[in-house]
Structures are given as C-alpha cells and as structure tokens.
Structure 1
Amino acid sequence: MPSAPLSSPVPLSVLDLVPVSSGSTPRQALERTVELARRAEAAGYHRYWLAEHHLARGVASSAPALVIGLVAGATGRIRVGSAAVQLGHHTALSVVEQFGTLDALYPGRIDLGLGRSGHRGSPRAGTAGAAVPERAGEAPSAAREARWVDGVLIPAPFSPRGLLESPYFAVQQALLQLPGAVSPAYPEQVDEIRALLAGDYRSAGGVEAHAVPGEGADLQLWVLGSSGGESARVAGERGLPFAANYHVSPGTILETVQAYRDAFRPSAELTRPHVVVSADVVVGPDDGTARRLASGYGLWVRSIRTGRGAIPFPSPREAAGHRWTEADRALVADRVDTQLVGSARTVVEGLRRLRAVTDADELLITTITHDHADRVRSYELLADAWRQGGAA
C-alpha cells in the first residue's frame, strides 16, 4: 500500500537525470527511471521531475517530454514534469503543444519547468554569440570565499566560462540549433508560453494563434534558475513558482532565492513566493556505506566540468582507481562538498538546515548511485525518515 504523501509541512520531490551507470545501457536507464518513479510514488514523494541534457553518454534524459509520458503512464498520483525545458533549443509553440498533449493524457498532473539553457539572443550558428549564463553580481561573487551559514556550506561560486568555451559546448550548440535561427529573448518566450496556454496569444500584427493541444491545459508552470539573474527575475515578476538549484550552483543559492523574492509580484497563480530548492543526496544504512555509494560522484562531475560531457556513472571500484590531482579536486569541490551523504538521520539533518537557510517551501532530491537498487533504497530511506519527523 502506498505511504502517506510527504507533504506536511515540507514536501519532498524527485529530480531524475535518467543516469546511465557504467556497464549499462540507455534502455536500462529508462526502464529504471520508470521503476524508480513507481517506487517514489509509493514512498509518498510529491513530484517527479525529469531533466533535459544532450550529448552526454552518462545520462539518457535528452527527450524529457517523452520520458514524462512514460512516467506519468506508469504512475497514478505523483505530479510529473520537466526540470527544465531548455528554452534556447525550443519554440514556445512546440513546448506548449508537447506539454498540452501530456496534460490531455494525464490531466492535472503535469508540471512545465522552464530554463534559460541554450539562450544566447543571437544567431544559432556555430559558437557565434555564445555567452556565459547570467550571474548577477559576477565580479563580487567570484571573489567571495566559501562560508557556512547556519550549518549550510555556501562555497565560492563556480564560473562556467571555461566549460562554455570548450569544443564540446560548441558542438552541442551546432547540433541543437538551426543555422541562422534567432532565439527570442527569454522573458518573451515565457510570456508567449503563458499566452498560448491561456488562449490569448496575439502576434505583433494582432493575429490570433491557438495551440491544440495546449490551450487551456491544466499545467503548473515553473521557472528554474541557478543565479540571481534573469530567471529569478522572470519568475518573480510574473508571480510564478521558482526552483533554485543548490545541487548545480551551491555557491549562488542564497542570492538566487533572494532575487526571486525581491522581484515577486502576486499573480493569479500565487499570492506569495513559492520556492523549491534542489539538493544532491545519497542515503545509506550508515554514513560509511553511503560515502562508498556516493564515491563516483566527484569523477562524474569532473567529466562534465572538463568539457567531456557526463560519463556513465562510475562504480565505487572504478572511482577508487582514479588518481586525483589538486586541480581536479578544486574543479569539483563545490559540488562534492555540498552533496548530502550519510545515514537517513545525517541527511535529514542536512536537509532541514538547507530548508531553514533558504526558507524553501519544497525540497527537490536528486540521487545517483552506480547500482539502481542502492538508488531506490536511498530515496526510500529518506522518505521514511522525513515522514517520521524530518520535515518538522
């Protein structure tokens, strides 16, 4: 029998990158995602969100709308959605039609999370115009040292400039974007999506357009962001719920949520700000076992940040065989040091502190281990502990 939802007072939800472990296949990763979604629903998780990543051997989440359909069809209660659609690679109409179709099939259960990834505001050809994502106050932030805030580590912010200037990024942009096409400004795309969903879209010349399916869809619209820049402002100014990425950019989490709250204006969707904060988590039966299960994480993050794209997630044995340099350790330190790893009690305490520091309304949990059974068990151990008082 399904457990009671983890909804009081702070819900827990799942963020799934559909990881491919070393020695496994994308098909296995997708099958495991469906199984994990069923188990997460039974454990009481509130949402199940799928990421969008491209050209990475270690993740199979390149087509989130398709996987959302698989997950929604295999479950019955849990909300299912995107975290997040990379709007720089999609038109507003294509997004509304895809998610309108999902809502028509699974009404009232679909979340549409929007992200700025891929946005450059310039021709989509080669690497021309490629820009570092907005990082509000980049110069002061870059100079800021790591600090602890009420038991939560806020590391020095990581600059993605080197990654975005890599040959891998250039190939990714070339393959994802049509030559000569121009992305609308991000706020404009968000407004187009809202208008198409509401049925009041008008072109610059006053011509109506109606998305079918899509118009009138009962979607919950979200904005995701990793800085206090444009995404946070867009979400706040439009009164939309916002998801802030501690697991991706822990060094900017506080300025990110504050920028959203400062920009917030009440809307038909929300009368007050609503924030989800993500966290990277591995739970084991004890702290030592959990650390072993999580040992491949640093090597996996290193593969991303060196411009290779995510590798298949290493086993503990493979991770133990890697020789780390000081430069390697520095490259991934912010992510490794902020991953919450340990027994359920240890991780619950870390999540409670993170929630308190950010005043999060919900927490979004992402977990990757080499063995699927360990990953499922991590989510179940956390759910049990959270239900027994962790959310208080």
Structure 2
Amino acid sequence: MAATYVGNMMQDDNMTHWGNVWAEQGIAEFDRYDKLNEFNSGTYAGVTLYALSLWGYMPKNSTIVTRAADMIEKTWEHIGMYYNPTLHTLGGPWDRAYGYDMVRQEKTVVFFFSSFRSYLGILGIQIAGLIGGIKDKSAPLPVPLVGSNHFEDGAIMAMLPIISKFHDPYVSSSVLSSLKSLSSSSSSSSMEGHTYFTQAVSPPYDSLSFPRNYTSYTGPGLSVGAIQVDEASVGGPALNPSQFQPAQVLWATGNIGGGGREEVGWILHYPSSPVINASASSNSLTVSYPPSQAFPGPNSTVTSNSMSFLFSGIKGVSLGNDFLMNGTAELPGLKLTVGGNVVDVVNEGKGNRTFVYGEEDLNGFLFYNLTWVFDREELEGRGEVPEVRFEFEKV
C-alpha cells in the first residue's frame, strides 16, 4: 500500500505498479482461507486492520481499494468467534502472542520494588473503540495502561479515530453483538457457548496441502483453543516458540484482580515439536506430537522427548511440587485431570517430571512450568505418538 500511495504521489509508475502487484499477492494469500496468514493475534490482527483501513486514502484505481473493506469484514468475523466477552479478552489459540489476557494484572517483584504487568493488545484498543467499556472496566484493556507490556503500542490510539470511517462500517452487527455477549452462531453451539473450526496457511512454513487446523470453544468464563500444525521448524510461522501458542485454556478464577476485575488464569502449551496435533473442546485439551506428513525427511519420526505446559500464577494460591502428581488438581474456578501416554510412561519410571516456578519469564510474565521428559523410544516401540490430555470442569 505504501508503494502504491507514494508511487502515485511521486508519479512513479514503476513503484505504483509493484505496489499493486504486491497487493494482488497479499489478497491471493488471504483468499485461500479468507483470513490473514498470521492468524488470531491480539497485536498483529490489529496492525493489519489498521493498515487495511488506510484504503480510503489510497488512489481510487489501486488494487487494494477493491478488496480492503471485504478483508476487514471477514477478519472481524473470525475475531468475533474467538473473543470472549465474559473474560473480556481474545481466546486462543494464537499464531503469535505477547500476552495471554488483555486485562490481566501480573504482579512481579524485583528486589524491593513490586509492579503490576499486563498486556496491551492493539486489537483490544480497537474493540474498546467499537463497543466501549472504559468506564465500567469491561473493555479489553489493562488498568492502568501505564506500565503494561507493549504500552508503547498505545501510540496507535491517536490514529484509529482518523481511519475509523474506513473501518467501523465493515464490522457487522452480528460481530458487534458477539463482542458484547456470547455468540451462538457456529456449527455447534448453544447459549452456553460455541465451538469453532477454521484453517490458515503460511507458505513456505506450511505446505499448501497441510494447512493449520484450528479448534476452539468459547463459553461462560472459559476459552479453549488448539492448532493442528505440521511445519519444518519449531515455533509456528514466526519460528518463535515463545510467541507461538498452539494450545491454551483461559478461565475466570473467581478472584478479583487488578483494576477490580475478575482474574483470568491461563494454561499454555510451550511447543518443542514442529508437528503438533492439538484439539480443543468445552472440557478437554489434547496435545500430541506425531511424525510429519508435510515435511518428512528429518521430521519423519517424532523429534521431541519432552512436553511442557505453563500455568499462570493465581492470586492467593501457591502450588506445590506435587501439583497434578496424582493426575488431579483443583484451581480457583477450574477442576483439572491430566493423562496420556507421556504421563503414563513417566509414571512407569521411564522419564522424569518437573514442576517449577519463576525460573524464567515468557514475554515478561512469570509462570509455573510443568514438564514431562519421556522415553521416546519406549513409545515408538509401542507404536504410539506422545500425547498429553487435560480434562477440566469450570466451577
């Protein structure tokens, strides 16, 4: 878009031409599955929506003008299926994430100073602009904004009103409704929540024959999401396992956190395999590591011998080393059980389990790390692929 705009302004036909060619290529990628290649990101979905909204300032004969409004509308349709108004945040899974709850206040202690950390997502700013929620603190924004992770992204606030006339009319009434209350417009739904399935692909990181498959559940006080992905390298299309979140659970803990709002807990899978078969439902999250079909070669067999799941800290709760040791646990707002052949083989003494807190941070957030290191050859000998399954009940 920049090349087309500047080329037109400078009467540079070559720059204008290539700007339109690149727009055609971007539109063609979008049209594969009616979505952005980097899908469901609280930051980059917002960045792209802002960029697309600049179509109103483009030369009227430029390629992007013919499709930008349609792309904005379709992007919001997906967002509406993932946003959970009972949690006031975007549910997962996320192709790239810098935070896991748009309103969470994370207390960290460094020497003698304590501070609250939270995550400002550009998409949260846009949602607040569409439906409000500043006064009653229901907007997907950290309170206070100052000191939050990615606070500098708030600079975009001054620009959004300027381009809103080329953006807001293309957010449908049904999407606006889903941002305010739980939507039931899905293939499997009820007033208690909805499931959703969709696909995306990011060549060359994905094979066009093996797109990423997304499953999710969005319900009262609970969001669950998962990705089935088959790539050559660990970390999703961004090649960054600290930002790629292929499996997660968000839930309302019942505790009142920072800003006077209900605290949201999270469980994340930290990937160690380029091939992940994860699936989500209203009461379970399953993660397995099969061999690659899209990129056989070095990934023709299972390449990882560990699985890690990260748990957020919860106000007033300290988890001991025996957390989930017997396969069950209860956290504020959520009952958990865990199983699968990875857990079984470690319990048989063919591997080890660790559970630690605060050894490192992830995008500025501290967490409990539950990791199983397992005997991969043992599972291969049984003809099984590594799998961990969480089942849960919202309480």
Tell me the TM-score range normalised by the shorter chain: under 0.3
Higher helix residue share: 1
Higher strand residue share: 2
Report the TM-score, using the length of structure 1 for normalisation.
Answer: 0.27
Report the TM-score, using the length of structure 2 for normalisation.
Answer: 0.27
Larger radius of gyration: 2
